[in-house]
Amino acid sequence: MSQPVQTGSRPTFLEELREQRFDDHRFYHQSRINQSLHFVSALCFLGAYVYLFIDPVVSVFLGWICAMGTRQSGHFFFEPRGYDKVNQTTHEHKEAIKVGYNLQRKVVLIAVWALSPLFVWAEPTLFGLLEAKPGIYGFLHNVSLVWIGIGALALLGRTLYLCLTRNVQSGLVWCSKILSDPFHDALIYHRSPLALLKGELFDPMHDVAARQ
């Protein structure tokens, strides 16, 4: 994702939030399939937000399996990785300057997430960090707690990194963007499935051309 444009004064929090969201859209969401999967993911995340107050196990599995599964499959399998004619830049350049998790960082995060149930199975209390619970639901409950921890650490770690390497506002903006992405994605990509059904595989990105 591109660096904030340097002007005479620092952009406000909301201005930088809009810029980060726009960069994320124009650089990483050109495929209508990816956009449609992000719409499905957004709905799953919104459901996870609700279930967080009802049943954390359901919430975490909605978030990590349904929401993250559809979201990241869109990035890995459907978003083009060749030369970006819309933004006139290479995929490698976009990955190098991305504010959040690029594909390489996502592979590491997904690997940690996927392997974590094995650690819970081998050491149900995680060396005293968790309370051992009987049965399959007890196992799933502890896995969900571990997944909550992984998600929180991933969010907090990247936020602190951006605060230290850029500035505090950029880190907090990115954190706010991630937490509010389900609402934003549901809003801007709700028409993408219909466009895809009409045979439009890629977003013409008229909004990007309008700002260039």
8 has a pLDDT exceeding 90 = no
Give the span between the Cα atoms of 117 and 28, in whole angstroms. 30
Q: What is the pLDDT of residues 105-114, one digit of tens each?
A: 999 999 999 9
- What is the rounded average pLDDT of the residues 1-5? 46
- The confidence score (pLDDT) of residue 210 equals 72
* DSSP labels, 110-138: HHHHHHHHHHHHHSTTTTTTS----HHHH
Average pLDDT for the chain: 92
Give the span between the Cα atoms of 204 and 31, in whole angstroms. 10
205 contacts 86 by C-beta, under 8 angstroms? yes
Higher per-residue confidence, 163 vs 126: 163
Q: What is the pLDDT of residues 151-161, one digit of tens each?
A: 999 999 999 99
- The confidence score (pLDDT) of residue 75 equals 96
36 has a pLDDT exceeding 90 = yes
37 has a pLDDT exceeding 60 = yes
- Whether the predicted model's global pTM rises above the 0.75 cut: yes
Give the span between the Cα atoms of 88 and 27, in whole angstroms. 10
- What is the rounded average pLDDT of the residues 93-114? 95
23 contacts 1 by C-beta, under 8 angstroms? yes
